[in-house]
Chains A and B, each alone.
Chain A
Amino acid sequence: MGKLVEIANLSFSYNGKLLFDKLDLEFTEGNFYTLVGPTGSGKTTLLRILVGLEPTHDYIKVDGDFLNPKNMEKIRSKVRFVSESSRTEFVTNQVSQELEFELKRRNANHILETILEFAKKYEIEDLLPRKISELSRGEQQIVAFLTAIITSPKLLLLDNAFTEVETSRKNHLLEIYKKEQKGEVTIVETASSLSEAPMSKEILLLDNGKILFQDKMKNLVAHEKELEKHHIELPFSLDLSLKLRYYDRIQEVEMDSRKLVDYLWK
């Protein structure tokens, strides 16, 4: 799989403070990443840089193009950024109209059909005719997410995009999306703890201006001390496993709750 995002030697200051210190980063196509870091470590800023919302002259490539004014329009058409405030950035006041606007913007064909099929897939048919201002905050965040994915971005950045949405609903939507996309989208989400990231494939720890490690979720136990040092909560099963291992109740850690239960009481 190709590299979707390459960042080399990124240095960036925010509010007079050095936020990124010669930071290197690579995202591969089709993967799901969770970017964790303590409060204020720069997670949001890093994502904003990728979508061109913060100026930078450093080596950053998105889908093969350098991030510069000349390529900005092209890159922006492939990257979507959804944050907790995306629900205040709607252009229209009706759910179906908002989806229509997105599709028209990308010169899509068969707009009505696309919207209906999309709504059926994501189980929001009843939301289509609703006025966005009359939706609850959680429903608005769901609409913001769907508006971002209906045009099939290559890179989807989620920064606290589901703060008002119940976890089960959020996971359900992401499941459908992942199945749909079949590895054609790269998703990067931010998190302050790992108990929030059940579906992630690779975890990156950001602190003190650098990416301290980037590794698959299944290898997380190797980074346990570092996560602890930077105040990141471990996923539940891993945390429980480590504690049980300490008391010699089990010999190996298990990241999956079901497997842990099996292992504990064979």
Chain B
Amino acid sequence: MEIKFQNLFYMFPNQTIFNSLNVTIPSGKITCLLGKNGSGKSIFVNLLRLIRLPKKGSIFVGDYEITSRGMLQNVLEYENQIGYVSSFPEENYSYDTVLKEFLAQLEKFHYNPAKRRKHIEDALEIVGLSLDYLYRDPFSLSSGEMRLVSLAIALSHNPKVLILENPTIGLDKERKRTVINLLMRLKSRYKKTILIVSQDMNFINEIADTIVILKDGKVWKQGAKKEIFAASKGLVKEGFSLPDMVSFRELALDKKKIRLGYQSDVNDLVKDILRQE
């Protein structure tokens, strides 16, 4: 499902956030949304979740024009298509067991009670959590565990669009790898459209297809990941951090005039370095 923002305006009494924002998030790809603090990343996400309404302009998600009045009748149907994982999972927990959180979600979207158990078990399995987690108090989970549980809950109702905020916090190497592999599969096999907001540049370097950078109420840059990171000097000048591999590449070029290819996998970087003699 393609996401399109057309001439979007959003403002607070003393601050303009979006000033005729035009952007298209491609369907079936992983897009990472970047921007300095206060550039509107959260607002962007909240507009998609129908938590905020724009002052002017339109937003299209697949066939839904979510800013239109007619949308009121389709809210639940639309929400079923959006899976959201918050940067603060606790803020969305209401119950004392993980199982109840799942059930509340599936109840909301009128899932057949007989089939719920299977959806829940499948969801836990794909994020790599054991069934024991169903009986845990969500508030007692560690930071990383909460994010995995929230991801499972978001996937349990099979949304076409996944919006993830800071999904790698608290995740060690193994869990991060599980999430990365899962997201790749969700994209290639299940054709989900995935939007990620994250400060983890190395994660973004590995997983993004497209990058959108917000600035001053508009899209400052948008393009394939490789393209965006190739223009790394511009990013640094604006105060953005670079993925370690991209920084390294810059250093090799600046200090030693060595041209390394753009890489998103350290093993490919190693091969490239070995080739340079």
Contact = CB atoms under 8 A, between A and B. Distances in A.
Given A142-B37, A240-B266, A160 B169 contact: yes
Given A84-B88, A137-B87, A138-B37, A261 B252 contact: yes
Interface in A192-216: 192-193, 195
Given A192-B144, A231-B172, A239-B266, A167 B38 contact: no
A40 B145 contact: yes
Nearest to A139: B37
Interface size class of B (residues with CB under 8 A): 35 or more
Interface of B: 12, 14-15, 36-39, 41-42, 87-88, 90, 136-137, 140-145, 148, 166, 169-176, 199, 201-202, 239-241, 244-245, 247-248, 251-252, 255-256, 258, 266-267, 269-270, 273-274, 276
Interface in A234-266: 236-237, 239-240, 243-244, 247, 249, 257-258, 260-262, 264-265
A187 B160 CA distance: 43
Interface of A: 14-15, 37-41, 44, 84-85, 134-139, 142, 160, 162-169, 192-193, 195, 230-233, 236-237, 239-240, 243-244, 247, 249, 257-258, 260-262, 264-265
Contacts, number: 139
A136 B144 CA distance: 23
B251 A136 contact: no
Given A39-B170, A136-B38, A261 B87 contact: no
Contacts of B176: 192-193, 233
A265 B199 CA distance: 31
B142 A167 contact: no
Contact of A265 (B240, B256, B267): B256
B143 A240 contact: no
B236 to A, nearest CB: 8
B274 A249 contact: yes
Contacts of A139: 37-38
B136 A15 contact: yes
Contacts of B173: 193, 231-233
Contacts of A38: 172, 174-175
A263 to B, nearest CB: 11
A135 B41 CA distance: 12
A39 B151 CA distance: 15
A192 B170 contact: yes
B21 to A, nearest CB: 16
Nearest to B144: A39
Contacts of B269: 240
A165 B266 contact: no
Contact of A192 (B14, B36, B171, B276): B171
A192 B172 contact: yes
A172 to B, nearest CB: 9
Given A160-B169, A166-B36, A166-B37, A236 B174 contact: no
A230 B174 CA distance: 9
Contacts of B145: 39-40
Contacts of A168: 239-241
B239 A257 contact: no
A14 B140 contact: yes
Contacts of B199: 162-167
Q: Considering residues B136, B170, B241, B276, which has the most beta carbons from chain A within 10 angstroms of its beta carbon?
A: B170
